[in-house]
Structure 1
Amino acid sequence: MDIAAGFVWYEAPDWKLHTIVTAPPSSGRGAELGVPLHYNPKSYSNAFCNFAEDVNRDGWTDVICVDFPGTPTWWFENPKGADGDWKKHLCTPVTNNESPDFLDLDGDGKRELIAGFSPDPKQSDGPDRQMAFIKPDADPYQEWHRHAISAKAGPGTKRYSHGLGVGDVNKDGRNDIVVAAGWWEAPESLSDAEWKFHSAPFGEQGGENRAAQMYVYDFDGDGDNDVLSSSPHAFGIWWHEQFPGDNWKTHEIDKSFSQTHGICLADINGDGLMDFVTGKRWWAHGGNDPGGDQPAVFFWFELQRKDGRPHWTRHQFDHDSGPGTQFQVADVNGDKLLDVVSSNKKGVYYFEQVRE
């Protein structure tokens, strides 16, 4: 696999650097802050998330880039080996929430962007903002179609909202959407109708009720699904245990390092249980967050079950990198072992899993 990070990509296996665009595309606050392609740690990026997808179905992988929060998401058309900037196309003019995802929500085999949006690009936090899944129409070169699922001004829909995930919370066979304040229940048939919202305490408690990427999984093996979340700008990783009647109990997994702004759920050791990977996003707020100057550690947490309870063993694989706002777990080198790829203010890193 090759690796895309922001507006560049690295060609495997020697990681030759290629430019996707030579100037950041943002016209929103990222540009107002003077965010360059090479920025200092006190500034911010014009690329909060990258996804690889053959958007125009021409057999070449394109790159989707979620810009600065509250600004557009773009897709960049692969030039099929030609030199020069990749052609930029608009997906959606406003992308709210700092943990958007791109996955197959509705089970049709095609991935959708899950994010908050506002119909007015000049008011990303305006009163008409909603949660939505956003997907290409038949013509991928046109602006993507937004399917709103929430009431207006719903939780998790502001530009700087933190916490978003997808999973089958109630085990009815349909993917629901999860935010720090609760979850939206997917109806039998997806449309633009409003989904039912269930309040739940999935974010930081006693703080700003934030989270990073969120995951739905049966961690304790009792037959119902639970929720995993973490603190993006303070300390804490939690699993939220589900009980009958849509009741929840929060359990702390770790609070020894801060700024877990990126987290991935994956079966790292291949034992059939879903582990998770996370670490410290170094200087997420320019060093002003709690623990901001502590080492940018990176761990995977091994899930084990004993007497019907989940337990996690923490394994450190780096001490000076950490995640950014997003990272990926994938078999990069094709050896059937999952690896980790991250990019942040420390650089771009590929961690190869090696077993003795």
Structure 2
Amino acid sequence: MVHKHVSRSVATALLLVLMPAPSDAAVPQFRKHVLDAKSEYPACAVLDVNADGKPDIISGGAWYEAPSWQQHHLRDVQNIRGRFDDYSNLPLDVNADGLLDLVSANYRSQSIFWIQNSGKVGVPWKSHVVVAPGAMETGRLADVDGDGRLDLLPNGVKFAAWWSVTTDSDNKVVWTRHDLPQQAAGHGIGFGDVDGDGRGDVVGVRGWFRAPRSAVTNDASQGRWVWQPEFALHRDGALPILVQDVDADGDADVIWARGHRTGVYWLEQSTKDGERHWEKHAIDTSFSQFHSLLSADLDGDGQVELIAGKRYLGHDGKDVGEWDPMAIVAYSFQSQTHTWKRTILSLGDGIGFGLDPKAADVDADGDVDLVCPGRGGLYWLENLRGADALKNTGLSQTVPAISYDEHTKPLTFKDAEGRLHPVTNDAEWGRRRAHIVANVERVMGPLPGPSRRVPLDLKVLSTTDVETYVRKKITYASEPGDRVPAYLLVPKKIEQRAPAMLCLHQTTRIGKDEPAGLGGRPTLHYADELARRGYVCLVPDYPSFGDYAYDFTKQGAHYRSGSMKAIWNNIRGIDLLEAIPEVDPDRIGCIGHSLGGHNTIFTSVFDQRIAAAVTSCGFTPFHHYYGGKLKGWTSDRYMPLIDRQFGNDPDRVPFDFHELIAAISPRAFFSNSPTRDSNFDISGVRKLEATVRPVYELTDSRKHGQGTFVVVTPDSAHDFPDEIREQAYDWLDDRLK
């Protein structure tokens, strides 16, 4: 005997329509338990293997016995091209013998198999291949046909189907395939009642699929799954896509993350004049590789939290952000502000989510714990709800701002003991980059979190026809109580999603008007010129310029610097670009001159959605800026702490432009740095180029170091010459078109 019979009821499914409710409760602390730091299995399950009444943990070929967590062999797992072929561990009594088995949907073998519970401790569990329909990211369980039994809903990369499982009169297991519309194939799938008709629908990255009256027969007499292309998510959606009534308004919303890029998002459903509408909101874009999502009530207040975990080396380090610190983050929706509260459970501890993490009461103490498998080890995080705050839980919530005396050598890093080492690989560079960002925040202040990410509430003030594009004068909300004036330039002939540019102006009274071609220097009309080349362009005012009246000491009192305020406005601008149907979110760049030039650099460091950055006359190292006299950087508009805390001393400021530009890698970087620029000394730029180029050569996954990192030095003053702009535009075309 091993288990009591476990019903395949909807209550056990991971893909339910959950109903959050407002709450002020705090997400509790968690304590780290290392089950196997060397484990590389991407999936896990929580069930009582040895029938002692205690939940055990299974991951891949091993099970871990509670409460000592002694490891035992469970079965052999095939390793295919360096990955264990075990992309999900879904508990299900497949053969109806009263014992929980496991179901696995896999990428490398392209097969679905179930793992039979032997019923005896020490007897290996046996795998049974069901079918090999094609590559699958993973799978989840859901009662797709509404018969009270769980079904398998795999995420087929090139196929779309679900499987029901029954036993016949001879107790033989029968798996039945039920096809879905081909548009449901891709990266990301979920299940829930989208339209409120009482039947569960399927959600994919290309829209949702209305369930027929009989999901099993799926024939003409009963109706078919009908594709509803009402929205398009990012092409690398996380697993699962969640269907929840986020804002408790009585309809179902959609939550997803990017499995191989940056960000977690939700779509808000509403109805107007009988028509369904969807509004896209970014929840958080500070983290990447959120390949798996969970939804669970961590604090016991009746409100479910959204829980996201970074996947370790999903694409072997080739994706932007893969080498950033591992993270597990919980988000709680705040109904009063329509924003999310972020709680970092673990940051930089090496713990993340693989392909099938679990939220379960592992220690049977009445709260929800987290089990975290992946290529970086197997861990369970013990929920300490109700316990006193502990000084040492084994988990970190911040990246330390480790000081470096020499900022001209970005390819060095310090270990936990403060010893300096050369950076020799991507993992070490990821650590160094995290230190750079933390040190920038010492000067600029912390990047605002999701609680300030209010709905954009886009308002169009006027619309003007400009030959090949339309110019809209707009405002958008960047945070509570503040709106950013901007121009939005949209080309007229867009047949498919287009690239987009965030265009940032120099120090000029007219602000956004200059890049938009409405005044100022013709050599700085880059937004107008890019729009004519087919780019959707957003041109915001910097606070205190153009139409943007702003008092940094009053309205911006909650910021340590005007630079961080501008960065946040720009990040919200990228949110806006992503929300525009005409924009391809994977092809967004940023361009700026002078003030806009270093504003481009700053924003690109903090927002990895920017795929290509073009800076003109935007930087030189601090020691080369007017001989190291940094007063020009210290106004409230920029970084006053350079003066107040670091004494205008380049040796004391904890970062420099060598590190900032290096931190943009491996994303594309282009600089126009004229030889006669009186603001930004060319000799410093050339020294910086020599130290930063090796970073790009190390990190550039495309192995095109010369084209990814470009510094041009025309014989010009502080300007953006015609021929250099054309070169920059061609360079952008090569990367974003």
Same fold, judged at TM 0.5 (above) = yes
1:114 corresponds to which letter in structure 2? L
Matched, 1:189 2:219: no
In the aligned structure 2, how far is the partner of 1:82 from the partner of 1:218?
42
In the aligned structure 2, how far is the partner of 1:8 from the partner of 1:237?
32
| Count of matched residue positions in the alignment of Structure 1 and Structure 2 | 322
Alignment match, 1:163? 188
1:57 to 72, 96, 108: 96
Q: CA deviation at 1:140?
A: 6.2
Q: How does 1:8-157 map to 2 (within 5 A)?
A: 8-24=62-78, 31=80, 33=81, 35=82, 44-68=83-107, 71-94=110-133, 96-115=135-154, 125=158, 129-138=159-168, 141-142=172-173, 144-150=175-181, 154-157=182-185
In the aligned structure 1, how far is the partner of 2:346 from the partner of 2:237?
26
Report the identity percentage.
Answer: 31
Q: Deviations over 1:299-327 (max 9, x none)?
A: 111222115x2433333235321101121
Asked if structure 2 preserves the Cα contact closer than 8 Å seen for 1:95 and 1:116, the reply is no
In the aligned structure 2, how far is the partner of 1:262 from the partner of 1:316?
15
Alignment match, 1:292? 322
Change (3 A) 1:298 1:223: same
Q: Deviations over 1:105-147 (max 9, x none)?
A: 2332211001256xxxxxx84xxx4332432343664451112
Q: CA deviation at 1:255?
A: 0.7
Q: Deviations over 1:235-291 (max 9, x none)?
A: 010010112223211100001111000111112222222211112112111111111
Asked if structure 2 preserves the Cα contact closer than 8 Å seen for 1:234 and 1:290, the reply is yes
2:383 to 350, 353, 356: 353
Alignment match, 1:234? 261
Alignment match, 1:303? 333
1:91 corresponds to which letter in structure 2? V
Asked if structure 2 preserves the Cα contact closer than 8 Å seen for 1:203 and 1:230, the reply is no
Alignment match, 1:267? 297
Output the TM-score relative to the length of structure 2: 0.42
Matched, 1:220 2:244: no
2:73 corresponds to which letter in structure 1? T
Unpaired runs of 5+ in structure 1? 25-29, 36-43, 118-123
1:312 to 341, 345, 366: 341
Alignment match, 2:467? none
In the aligned structure 2, how far is the partner of 1:350 from the partner of 1:140?
36
Change (3 A) 1:198 1:87: same
Alignment match, 2:61? 7
Q: Deviations over 1:156-208 (max 9, x none)?
A: 42xxx31111111111111111111111111222223231110133522xxx4
| Structure with greater Cα Rg | 2
Q: How does 1:192-211 map to 2 (within 5 A)?
A: 192-193=217-218, 194-204=224-234, 208=235, 210-211=237-238
What's the secondary structure of 1:155's corresponding residue? helix
Q: CA deviation at 1:229?
A: 0.3
Q: Deviations over 1:303-356 (max 9, x none)?
A: 22115x243333323532110112111111111111101110111111110023
In the aligned structure 1, how far is the partner of 2:190 from the partner of 2:75?
29
1:5 corresponds to which letter in structure 2? S
Q: CA deviation at 1:96?
A: 4.4
In the aligned structure 2, how far is the partner of 1:301 from the partner of 1:264?
11
Q: CA deviation at 1:89?
A: 1.6
In the aligned structure 1, how far is the partner of 2:171 from the partner of 2:342?
44
In the aligned structure 1, how far is the partner of 2:212 from the partner of 2:290?
32
Q: CA deviation at 1:230?
A: 0.3
Q: CA deviation at 1:23?
A: 4.3
Output the TM-score relative to the length of structure 1: 0.83
1:341 corresponds to which letter in structure 2? V
What's the secondary structure of 1:264's corresponding residue? strand
What's the secondary structure of 1:262's corresponding residue? strand
2:250 corresponds to which letter in structure 1? G
Greater mean alpha carbon deviation, residues 95-104 or residues 257-266: 95-104
In the aligned structure 1, how far is the partner of 2:384 from the partner of 2:232?
34
Asked if structure 2 preserves the Cα contact closer than 8 Å seen for 1:273 and 1:304, the reply is no
Asked if structure 1 preserves the Cα contact closer than 8 Å seen for 2:114 and 2:129, the reply is yes
Matched, 1:258 2:298: no
2:321 corresponds to which letter in structure 1? G
Asked if structure 2 preserves the Cα contact closer than 8 Å seen for 1:327 and 1:343, the reply is yes
Change (3 A) 1:202 1:270: farther
Matched, 1:330 2:360: yes
Asked if structure 1 preserves the Cα contact closer than 8 Å seen for 2:77 and 2:85, the reply is no
